Amino acid sequence: MKKESSNSESSKPGGTSFFWKLWGSYALLTLASAILIALLINRFFSNTANAALRAELSTIGELAASMASSNPQGLWTGALQARLAEVSEDTNTTADIVLASGEVKMASQQGSVLPEDPLDLPEFWNARSKGKGESEYILENGERYIYVIMPILVQSDKIGYVRIGSSTKEMLAQSRELNSKVAIGASGAAFLSLLVGFFIARSATQPLSQVESACRRIAEGELSLRIDLDRKDEFGMVARSVNALADSSENQLTQLGLQRNRLALLLQLLQDSVVAIDRRGKVIFLNAAAASLFEVDESEAEGKLFEDVMRVEPIRKLVQDGFSENKRFEFETSWGEKESLRYVSIFVAPLSRSLMEKSGRLVVIRDVTESRRFEALRRDFASNVSHELKTPVAAITTLVDALETGADEDAAARHEFLGRIRIQNGRLLRLIEELLAISRLETDTSMISLRRMDLRSVMEVASETFNTMAALRGIRFETKCPLQPLFVEGDQKSLEVVVNSLVDNAFKYTGENGNIQLSLNEEGDNHCIRVQDTGIGIASRHLERIFERFYRIDVSRSRERGGSGLGLSIVKHLTVAHGGTVSVESEQGKGSLFAVSLPKAKEV
């Protein structure tokens, strides 16, 4: 199990964006606070300095007004002006004296110059009405002056006014110096705050980054990954929850994987063709049986349109027509030529959970060709048995009727009719015996007693049986056997039936001057009996069904030769019961070759 280290950090932007957002927000807040505090301090000190300057000017103004009130004569002698000049010089201020008549008795050469009628100025009006006036002036050089006007009272009469002023240049210089110190202090405090905030944000977001990285990797498929975060806080709780979720997901996916593998194996082993189609009509899965039916490679078919993969037109059209209806349906169809006709049963079901939702389809195609063929064989078997039994029974009934109507009075006719009855009766008995033999072979093979035997004995019996027939029909019959014994585990009588049936068929379909060869050879782990003739041969379209019950190539010719259509079927059943195989090769007009291959007996 892999663990996500607590020192690991996400390399992707998504893993660190929260840190930068957190620390960036904190940094902006810190800088804004520092600037705001610096501005407030600057404003406070500016207001304080301004108020202090005004208070100082007011004090000097009151002192000057008091001096003038105590010695009003000094206004005219010049003594008061001299004294105010000394005070102004000591306090770095300006002083102006204006009489109540508007006459300027003293005018400073610095600052704002008084007009011809200074009493019209608002500050003088305030001093006259309120007992004090204030004003500010900005000179052409940009220098700012603050003035305070105080009345000169003599026995409650205002005889004049004292204007005391001062430049703010020195105050502004002190304010700038103070602002600089405040800015440096605020910057230092902000830097320290940002540095501390950086480490706090890093410490707070590092576990979150670790959890995010682990969650992303788990989502990408690393289900064995676990978060190694030993904390007691909420981050630790989240890490433990993610680990528990990963455990549960890994277990569920493991189970789903096992189920999917079992299902895939089951689908691959199914003989039915299974195809899954998405809602766009593209193949998303098909098993080996479907790939074989469609004659395509499984990997190449996936992702292609169903209509491009399915090459059988009837199936393609029916499935496409069914796509318009979001429901289950089942149908059967067939295609191919008459001799190679194939039947399939097709089941189509929607792959959606809701009938209202457009979905894909699951198509199951079952090849029922063999089933239909067996049904046809059962019908043919019933029909053939009925016909084969009816023919001799009808013949016997006709002959008996003839005897009953007077034919028995003629000895020659009676003898002929009885002979025919005996022939038809023998034919009926052979048919019944053959049917019983096939039935026993299909239901119980214990009737065959296998023992170690030499196949040459079967060849000798066949040779003795058919040599006379060959001479009578003018057919050259040849038997070839090796000198050494060829042993198999077999039943003597059953193998005699096999060989005699094949040779008898060869005689039935080989004309005069024809050749029939019966041979026995050793081939690998098997011994092979071959019956080859130069008869009429068999068309290729019949070879696949030649060993079926009651199957005849030419019905009329078979009945002329006394064939029931069961001989080759019995040959096949007996051969299979011995663990062997039977095959045929033939060309119409050139003859046939039947081969029976039997496994060798174990060495004693």
CATH of the domain at 377: 1.10.287.130
Cα–chain center distance at 204 = 38
379 shares a domain with 356: no
Residue 518: the pLDDT is 94
> Based on the structure, what is the number of domains in the chain?
3
Of 431 and 257, the structure prediction assigns the larger pLDDT to: 257
Q: What is the pLDDT of residues 246-302, one digit of tens each?
A: 788 778 878 877 877 776 677 666 678 788 888 777 888 888 777 777 777 777 777
**Predicted TM-score (pTM) of this structure:** 0.41
What range does the domain containing 392 cover? 373-441
pLDDT tens digit string along 356-413? 455 677 888 887 777 777 776 667 666 666 666 666 777 777 777 777 776 566 677 7
Taking only the tens place, the pLDDT of each residue in 539-567 is: 888 888 788 776 666 544 444 444 556 77
Same domain, 407 and 464: no
Portion of the chain with pLDDT greater than 90, in percent: 12
Kindly state whether residue 498 falls inside one of the protein's structural domains: yes
Cα 502 to Cα 520: distance, rounded to the nearest angstrom: 14
Tokens of 43: 């404003």
Task: Note whether 275 and 407 are same-domain residues.
Answer: no
Q: How much is the pLDDT for 530?
A: 95
Question: What own/partner pairs with CB < 8 Å and gap ≥ 24 does 536-541 have?
Answer: 536/509, 536/510, 536/511, 536/588, 536/589, 536/591, 537/586, 537/587, 537/588, 537/589, 537/590, 537/591, 537/592, 538/584, 538/586, 538/588, 538/592, 539/588, 540/586, 540/588, 541/339
- State the pLDDT at residue 516: 94
Q: Which of 367, 397, 432 is the last residue of a domain?
A: 367
152: left (phi over 0), alpha (psi -120 to 50) or beta: beta
Q: Do 282 and 304 form a contact (C-beta atoms < 8 A)?
A: yes
* pLDDT of the residue at 515: 94
Look at residue 82 and tell me if it is in a domain. Answer: no
Per-residue pLDDT tens for 44-79? 888 888 888 888 888 888 888 888 788 777 666 677
pLDDT (tens digit per residue) in 187-221? 888 888 888 878 877 776 777 777 777 777 777 77
Say if residue 500 is in the same domain as residue 432: no
326/392 same-domain check: no
Beta strands at 476-480 and 515-523: parallel, antiparallel or unpaired: parallel
